[in-house]
Amino acid sequence: MCLAIPGQILSIDSTGTLRMGRVDFGGVIQEVCLEYTPEIAVGDYAIVHVGFAIARLDVIRAKEILETIAQIPTE
Amino acid sequence: MQSTDFGNPIHVESLVRQIHAKSTRPLTLMEVCGGQTHAILRYGIDQLLPPHLRIVHGPGCPVCVTPAETIDRAIEIASVPGVIFCTFGDMLRVPGSQSHSNANDLMHAKSQGADVRVIQSPLEALRIARAESQNAAPGSMKRQVVLFAIGFETTAPATAMAIRQAKELQLDSFSALVCHVLVPPALDAIFADVDHGIDGLLAAGHVCTIAGDHPYHRLADQFNLPIAITGFEPVDLLRGILNLVEQLEAKPTSHRVDNLYEHIASAEGNLQAQRTVETVFAICDQHWRGMGSIPQSGLKLQPQFASFDASSRFPQGKLPGEQPSCCRAADVLRGKIRPIECPAFGTLCNPNHPLGAPMVSAEGACAAYFLYQALAPLNISERTPSKRTPSKRTPSELTQSESLNPKDDLAP
């Protein structure tokens, strides 16, 4: 139910009553409400749940997590 | 950024090796998220763990815990002539209390002529209401659009925004049947039971993305419970499990709240979303299917938004709510047993003929076990947990398609 999918912000439209954006989900492009992520910018990855971006995905931090795991010695 | 990196089998193998090296004693860990339940079963993560590490599943599916009486009410409202009833697809087949002689789920109501529409966002319901309002001929009745608003903290901000917009646009043809539920009060109810038997908690990343981690600090302190906030992919889940093992194997044991979803969820959560939810909703007591009434665990509309409450807008008939009784759903939802330990599992109770809440929804724990036990056969002897002799898989046995499916990566 709380399914949320990462997508990349292609464009932002702040002219309407709600701040909306076009978001690319691996080739599928959908309109998403960006009211809850005022900090998000074109090119960022958003975590999107039921048509709303609920967070910005920190790509650098995510890479650091994976690099830390990769550095664990394999016995 | 490939989110699928969090399914990388090399990373999975490394984390599993660490868990095996650090885990010395029997532990029971609970998760409370339908998406995590499915990820654990789908990727066979429980089968990669040491046999003495037991994963149980709490009330992590808002579809499952929606009371039968609320489903009855949804069917009743959807069946009112002229109503357009908008719902997430998950709710279509969830049975009510069988008090309706004609239809016992929304799908059946639709087959009998109700205008039930599946939406992916509450804003779609708002869009339908605006279109209906603009297209209605002067003097004619506008069709009423009703949003079935269910979900945890993650989904409530979307409902709140739709209702706030409806008020700003003065859309009197829009209303919502609200049944939002909150996770921490349900955890309070579980851990207040002295026999809960749970050593550590995996907290759901998307609930925390909205609500922040502060409710969990109190839980950790009050119940001496280590808590790891995690995501939904194999690497996320295994990092969470490793963290809990490390906390519980430390001497003395610790009970911190550690955020392992830090690339997405911040400590304070999403403040804009929290503010909108507080503007539109007030906290109230709420009935949970399979668990009963839990204090302060639901959301109701604030007085200034009360005119958007579908339950008061549409007349209510007599709805004698009934709960299925001959299954152990309540024990599954409290993490007392796993679905396969229920005597009705897979025989009397299955997705086509569900007896209890966790089997009715595709996201329920019982439905997940029913679906994935075919992929990773579980021994019948698992019905008695002490005799568990699981068929363990090594991480390298995770196939490419299991590890690298981008569409199923980030669920709760």
The CATH number linked to B391 is: 3.40.50.11740
Give pLDDT, residue B391. Answer: 42
| Amino acid in position B46 | D
Q: Is B323 a domain residue?
A: no
> What is the CATH number for A63?
2.30.30.140
The answer to whether B90 and B152 have CB atoms below 8 angstroms apart is no
Q: Is B407 a domain residue?
A: no
pLDDT in tens, A12-71: 999 999 999 999 999 999 999 999 999 999 999 999 999 999 999 999 999 999 999 888
Put simply, the answer to whether A4 touches B33 (Cβ < 8 Å) is: no
* Chain A residues with CB-CB distance to B410 below 8 A: 3-6, 47
| Amino acid in position B287 | H
Supply the range of the domain harboring residue A25.
Answer: 5-70
Give pLDDT, residue B320. Answer: 57
Give pLDDT, residue B329. Answer: 86
**Cα–Cα distance for residue pair B106/B3, rounded to 1 Å:** 35
B411: nearest CA in chain A? A3
Give chain B's domain count: 1
Q: Is B342 a domain residue?
A: yes
Q: Is A75 a domain residue?
A: no
Q: Is some CB atom of chain B closer than 8 A to the CB atom of A28?
A: no
Beta strands in B14-173 (DSSP E): 27-31, 53-57, 84-87, 115-118, 145-151
B87: nearest CA in chain A? A50
Give chain A's domain count: 1
Residues 6+ apart with CB under 8 A from B358: B57, B61, B64, B290, B329, B332, B333, B339, B364, B365, B366, B367
Supply the range of the domain harboring residue B82.
Answer: 1-316+333-396
Long-range interactions of B242-250: CB distance < 8 A, separation 24+ = B242/B15, B242/B18, B242/B19, B242/B22, B244/B27, B244/B29, B244/B199, B244/B200, B244/B201, B244/B202, B245/B19, B245/B22, B245/B23, B245/B27, B245/B53, B246/B22, B247/B200, B248/B27, B248/B199, B248/B200, B249/B22, B249/B23, B249/B24, B249/B25
Q: Is B385 a domain residue?
A: yes
Q: Is some CB atom of chain A closer than 8 A to the CB atom of B38?
A: no
Give pLDDT, residue B408. Answer: 39
Per-run averaged pLDDT (10 residues), chain B, 412 residues: 72 96 97 93 94 94 91 94 95 79 85 96 97 83 94 97 97 96 96 94 97 96 97 96 98 96 96 98 94 95 98 81 68 89 88 82 87 58 39 44 38 39
Give pLDDT, residue B374. Answer: 53
Tell me how crowded residue B288 is: count the other CB atoms within 10 A of its CB.
Answer: 23
Residue with tokens 């079963």: B41
Q: Is A34 a domain residue?
A: yes
Q: Is A13 a domain residue?
A: yes
* Chain A residues with CB-CB distance to B124 below 8 A: 51
Q: Is A18 a domain residue?
A: yes
